[in-house]
Structure 1
Amino acid sequence: MIWRNIASNFLTLAIVLLIAAAAAVAWAKREFSGPGPSAVAQCVQIAPGASLNAVSNQLAAQGAISNAYLFRAGADALGKSRELKFGSFLMPPGASMEEIVGAVTSGGASTCGTEVLIRVGVRENSVILRDMNPETGAYEDMARWNPAEGARPEPIAAAEELADVRLSLVMAEGVTSWQVVEALNAASFLTGEVAETPAEGSLAPDTYLLERGGDRNALLARMAERQAAILAEEWEARPFGMPYETPEEALIMASIVEKETGVAAERPQVASVFVNRLRQGMRLQTDPTVIYGVTGGQGILDRGLRRSELDTTTPYNTYRIDGLPPTPIANPGRAAINAALNPDETDYLFFVADGTGGHAFSRTLDEHNAAVARWREIEAQQGLPTDSPVQTDG
């Protein structure tokens, strides 16, 4: 009888323990997968080489998770305890531990935290120190520096030395290779001397993540590989009958299209004008090529072209030479390359600025002259000089 009571009590205890264990497991799953404790967005930063234990304690301390042990146990149960990725990741309010584990183990581009951004622009290069405001999800500039204007500001210099600061470069469409090299030379955290400026047009405009101590030449090689791949893909998919004998000729045209318009939707129309002119044996007559012949791609021309410059025959003066110039005049993006190889089907032979930031396109010289007259009126109303040459004016 005694043994029967002991067995009965043991069985009852076992059942109670099983129920308690099941309840604990259910609670743990709810805690791990349910909404987290943070009422605001959190920037979760993972340092290089950080352990899961250190990360879980950090997250608990900043209020992103409710239980460091449960976070580690859940990551281990998912088989991701050894898959932490370096970076900074923005987590929305109420992010669950499961969501945070997924973010910090899948990697990818950082989405928050402090960043030193090198921006290679058409008019100037700049270095920007900025930080993500977790509450708004927007980056806010903390310091900005133009390398052409004096010494590097102390906040930027200090940030470049911090291990947890993200470093990146944004190369705009239409910048020259010389401008890219100038920007890389201004990045004190990079290494390696660039002995020769890469061929014009050979670098792909894009965003590039950088590493402290990274080699400038290796980065330029990465940019060139990307551009070569883009050009090969677009050339392979080109339609029949385009007036280019080589991919390089298409790249030259793409660079002209890139420099002629800042309106993305206009690229195929602008390309159609130049393709129509090539097919009809007309000169391209485009100012950006002449400007490149004057500057060599080293900086911008902060004035209008002079009549003497338009009248001088150079390899880039498309008012004086037939066909394309010998090289690209900038580094075009994929959209411009695509437009050069897939222009709109139009009868346009001319275009001129229309005062809205875009252009007025014309089929005949009479239509074009009328559009030019309207543009001259706009120039006069805006107090702009009206004696500058007009693009593709026949």
Structure 2
Amino acid sequence: MNIAKDARTAVAGLPLAGLAVVEVFFFSLLVTAMSLLGAGIGLFLIPAAAIAARGTVNITRRLAGARLEGGIPEPYLPEPPREGGLKSWWARTQWILTDPATWRDLAWMLVNPVVGLVLVLLPLTLIAFGVFGLLMPLLWEDISGSGGNNWYWFVKVTDSQSALYALGLGIPTLLIGLVSAPALMRAHAQLARTLLAPTETARKVLHLTRTRSEVVSSSAAELRRIERDLHDGAQARLVALGMNLGVAEQLLAKDPEAVRAILADTRKASASALTELRDLIRGIHPPVLADRGLADAVRALALDSPLDVSVTAELPGRADAPVESAVYFAVSEILTNAAKHAAPTHVDVDLWYADGRIRAQVSDDGHGGADPSRGTGLRGIERRLAAFDGVLAVHSPVGGPTTLTLEIPCALS
């Protein structure tokens, strides 16, 4: 038993006890605001009271969640946009009242001041009472002389001998308080997780909201890229083609040799524009991916890559087109990053399907150090996969090798 650690655990319950008292106030405030909704005043009071209550409960989430693996994440639904006027106040009030987390917060603020206070204060109370028993031989005369309570548990301390009995009871009381502190604090944290953690439905809503936002942002960025490529590439070449043809039309009768040279340049420019359009189409959805499937599309990537890439694929069928596209572009981005940053001599790409998930693993013998938090490439892959409930795992120690594994749940046709 680590006495110092257990004592610190017990003392750590004091902030939680203080929060429980504060939560009683905010519970009363929020319930009062709700009761005034019919009078119209609650429309303005509920958002303010709920936000204050949520701030207090979130502190409890952080303190209690620190004792649990994974902590206690916030379960609240995203706030609607603020537009101003009564419509905005009503939207915010509706957002709060229809969020299940609001009612779970109220349940917590009702239960915690009773059950929670017992769990966090009981070990501290036992420790303090145990210390009091240990000091009873020194204090009993002053307590009796001042007319105070001289009972310790079931022992009435009236002399030195009964004071020693109290001391004997104080030792196990102190030890029980120390030993019970970690277990009772964990029980309090589990209670907090039960009432304050997101439900499965809330987790799905939050995940869908987050991935939807990321998908919208990614789609907007992709549209901007396509627009930029068209404007700076094919469109500029087509404008030049029109100008060249206009000049050729004017020179047709005067200088046929000049027209012949202009038409030759125009033919080259049209070939370049066609190549750029084909590259743009491949960037949106490669024809080989649509015609031959994911495995052959990745093999085509390997052939086009400047790296030495080996591809092993065992896919018994084809996934939906968006899933295949997500995996294809993820592998493409990984190969591009490896060529730019890792300088590998060889790359292995494995594709397979198992347990209802399509998986891809890209391994290289480069110098490693890949970190999603330091670059947009890997973060972009994570966002692309998250739209399909997919994940990306990165293992890339400095010095290499690097292994990136991605998976997306899907069914094969």
Alignment TM-score > 0.5, same fold: no
TM-score (norm 1): 0.20
Which structure has the highest helix share of the two? 2
TM-score (norm 2): 0.20
